[in-house]
Structure 1
C-alpha cells in the first residue's frame, strides 16, 4: 500500500510531464553520432526527422519491429530487415552469425508472424580471413535451422581494408501472420499486465565485457536465441495477448516508453519483480549502468490481460528459454505516456527513454 500511495502523491507531477514525454524527440544535431544508433531518444529523433519524413507511408509510420502487409488474397505477411555491426564479431554465447538470424526472426515474431524466409547480405572488408568467414556462416546456418527458417537469397560485397570493421551482415525476413491474430499498441488497455520472458541485460553486458576494455571478469553469456517458438507458447496460453516487443537496443526502458506513447497509457514497473542475473547486476553496478537500459537478444516483453497473466508466465517457464519469466508491471490509464518504476523503498521514479550511448555496437 505504501508504494501505491506514494505513486498517487506523485501523480500530479507525473501528469505534468507526460505531455512532453508523449512527443517523440526532435532532431537538433547537425551530424550523426554514435548516440543515433543506440535505440533511444537520439535514434527516434533521427528516424522521425530524416527517414519517416522523406519516406512516409502507413506501413512505415507504424515504426514497429516489422511491417504488416496484406496481400490481395487477404493473407497477411510481416516483413522486417536489420543490419548487424557488433564488435567483437564473437562473444560469449554467440557471434554476429547467430545475431543476424535471431534479430530478424525475433522481429518477425514480435509482429505475431511465423517466420519463414530470410535474405542475407554480407559486406566484407578486404583481408578478412576466409576461415573466420566460414565459421560465421556456419553459425548463421545453424541459427537458421534452429529457428526453422530458410535462407533463400543474398548478396556479397567486398570493400577496402578497414572500411567495414571486418564484417557487416544485413538480413531481411518474411513471415506469415495466422488469421485472426492482432497485436499492437492500440489493443492495450489499463489493467493489463507486462510479462517479461527472462532476465534483463545478458547480451549487452556479455558484449561489453568481451571487448576486454574493462578490468571486469564475470561469466556472462549473451542470451541470443530465436524466440519465435516461445512466442507461440505464450499465445497458446494467453490468446488475448495485446502487444509484443523484444528489448534490444535501449533495453526494457526504451520499449516501455515507446509503448506508453503509442498506446497513450502509463506503464508502471516494479523493481523487485525485474529478473536480473546476479553477475549482470554486479557488472551493471560496477559500471553505473541501469539494467533496464541494457539490451537482450533472446527475450521479449508482452502485454497480456490480467486474467491471462498467470497462465502466460506458467507456460513460458515450462520452456528452457522462458525459465525466468515474470510479471513485471501493469498498464494504467494515467500518467499517460510515462513509464514509472516502483522501488523497494516504497517510492517511485521516472524511467525515461535512453539518452546517449552507454553500450555501442551490441548488435
Structure 2
C-alpha cells in the first residue's frame, strides 16, 4: 500500500503566510531583546571601543542591535528560500504526476478505442461471413418455393423429361415472395451495419477513397445539401489507429453538421503538412501533422445546451488520445466549425489481441 507524500500545505500544517509572519515576529522580538540587553548591561561599551564616542548620543547600543537584526534577517531570508525551494519541488512533483496521469489516461483511451475498433471489425466480419451466407441461402430457397408454387421449375435439367405440371398455390407463392423481400431487407440492413462498423474500402483503397464514399452516402441522404471534400497530402504511411480515427472524425462530424445544415453547404478539408516543434535540446525538428476542418453555413446551434454536445465528446476523446487537439465552434445562425490537429506519427504502440 503506497503512502501519500506530505507537503507543507497539507492539512495540519501552518500556511506559508502565517509562517512568514511568525518568523518576522521572532526576528523583531529577538532584535528588541538584544537592544534591551545591550542597554541594560552596557554590552556595546564592553565589546566595542569605537562605540564609546556614541555614548553621549545614547546610540552606543545601535551597532549591537543592527548586528542582531542583520543576523535575524539573514535567518529569515534563509527560511523563505527553503520554503520557496520546498514549494517549487512540491509543485514540480505535482506537475510530473499530472503529466504521468495524463499520459496514462491517453494511453488507456487509445487502447479502449483500439479495442472498440477491433470489436467492430470482428462483428463486421462475422455479419458478412455468417449471416450473409445464411440470408443468401434463405433467399434462394424462398425463390425455389416461389417457382414451385407457381408451377415452374427452373432448376430442372433439359435432358430430363418434363415433370407433371404442379398446381398453382397462391398462398405459398405469397409467403415465398414475403420471405424473399424480408431476406433482401435484412441483407440491406446488415450491409449498412457492416459499413458503419468498418468503412468500405478503408483497408483496400485507403483513407481518401473511403472518405469520398462516405461523402457520397451523405449526398444520397441529403440531396438538398451540398457536400464537398478536399484532401491534400499522402496518407499511405499512417497507423491503423490514426486512419480509423480520421475517418470516424469526419463521419461523426458530418453527422453533427448535417443535423443542423438544412440545405446548406458543408465543406470538409483534410491536409497533411509539416509542423515545427520545439525539442528539449533546443532544436526545431519538422514533423508532419494532419489537419481536418469541417464547416457549414447552416443555422448552427447553441453548444451550451447539453443536447448540442452529443457526439462531440467522443470526437474530442479520439483526437486527444492520439496527442492531438480538437476545437469546435458554433452559435445560432452562425454555422458549425470543427478543427482537429493530429500528429501524423500518432498510433498505438501496443496492439490489442
TM over 0.5: no
Q: Between Structure 1 and Structure 2, which shows a larger proportion of helix residues?
A: 2
Q: TM-score, normalised by structure 1?
A: 0.26
| Structure exhibiting the larger radius of gyration computed from Cα positions | 2
Task: Work out which structure has the larger RCO, using CA pairs closer than 8 Å and 6 or more positions apart in sequence.
Answer: 1
Q: Between Structure 1 and Structure 2, which shows a larger proportion of strand residues?
A: 1
Q: TM-score, normalised by structure 2?
A: 0.26
